[in-house]
A and B are shown apart, each in its own frame.
Chain A
Amino acid sequence: AQSVSQHNHHVILSEAASLELGCNYSYGGTVNLFWYVQYPGQHLQLLLKYFSGDPLVKGIKGFEAEFIKSKFSFNLRKPSVQWSDTAEYFCAVNPYGGSQGNLIFGKGTKLSVKP
């Protein structure tokens, strides 16, 4: 079955630390990849997405992600986190050619940034 794995359940960092959140998926075909963020009490917001082309994609708020096809990975990175980055981060995959709306979410990673 298609699945999305996020390795870290809860990550705790101090401000200015670097961040990398792991995401792996099990689908073998072409995929569309997304990272969404959910700030406390707020709705899911799109951070960045990958459809094709340059595997290093840049998103909002200084986030970037790298698609490594051979590793079925789409890890999220930020060089220096801020307290305001405290949120839940979800990786999501839409298998290309899959049924419409087939957006598969990982279980999420809670990021806590200490001021």
Chain B
Amino acid sequence: DTEVTQTPKHLVMGMTNKKSLKCEQHMGHRAMYWYKQKAKKPPELMFVYSYEKLSINESVPSRFSPECPNSSLLNLHLHALQPEDSALYLCASSQQRRGNQETQYFGPGTRLLVL
């Protein structure tokens, strides 16, 4: 089973709203990732969690706040977003094995529209 699930599938929010995106995997993976994908562009890495600790933040604005409550869950809290933040937000996970031979498995994404 290589399934990563994400909720909600679609989200529309105003610039003053607070919302959260959720990601879940039950593959026993210890690394989880958030990517942002704009239309007709490749995914861009935002955050990486390793063993529930934030290990990479790719200079993402503070209006995006990640959280990893446990090894299976990853949240992305959104506050005061801008219209240009509208995109597909992808979650991925990988096993976190020695030797860096990591394969990332992606969820279906949450399509976010900021009005």
Residues of A within 8 A of B (CB): 32, 34, 36, 42-46, 49, 51, 90, 94, 96-103, 105-108
> In the assembled complex, which residues on chain A have CB atoms less than 8 Å from the CB atom of B90?
43-44
> In the assembled complex, which residues on chain B have CB atoms less than 8 Å from the CB atom of A106?
42
| Total contacts A-B at CB 8 Å | 57
How distant is A1 from chain B, measured CB to nearest CB, in Å? 14
Cβ-defined contact, B100 with A101, below 8 A: no
Cβ-defined contact, A46 with B103, below 8 A: yes
> In the assembled complex, which residues on chain B have CB atoms less than 8 Å from the CB atom of A46?
2, 103, 105
Cross-chain contact of B101 among A32, A99, A100 (Cβ < 8 A): A32
> In the assembled complex, which residues on chain A have CB atoms less than 8 Å from the CB atom of B56?
99-102
How distant is B71 from chain A, measured CB to nearest CB, in Å? 15
**Residue among B41, B55, B103 with the most chain A CB within 10 A?**
B103
Cross-chain contact of A107 among B31, B42, B50 (Cβ < 8 A): B42
> In the assembled complex, which residues on chain B have CB atoms less than 8 Å from the CB atom of A42?
108
Q: Interface range on chain B: under 10, 10 to 19, 20 to 34, or 35 or more?
A: 20 to 34
Cross-chain contact of A34 among B55, B96, B103 (Cβ < 8 A): B103
Cβ-defined contact, A94 with B109, below 8 A: no
How distant is B23 from chain A, measured CB to nearest CB, in Å? 12
Please report the C-alpha to C-alpha distance between residue A94 and residue B33 in the assembled complex, in whole angstroms.
14
Please report the C-alpha to C-alpha distance between residue A98 and residue B99 in the assembled complex, in whole angstroms.
11
> In the assembled complex, which residues on chain B have CB atoms less than 8 Å from the CB atom of A90?
42-43
B48 CB–A CB distance under 8 Å: yes
> In the assembled complex, which residues on chain A have CB atoms less than 8 Å from the CB atom of B40?
108
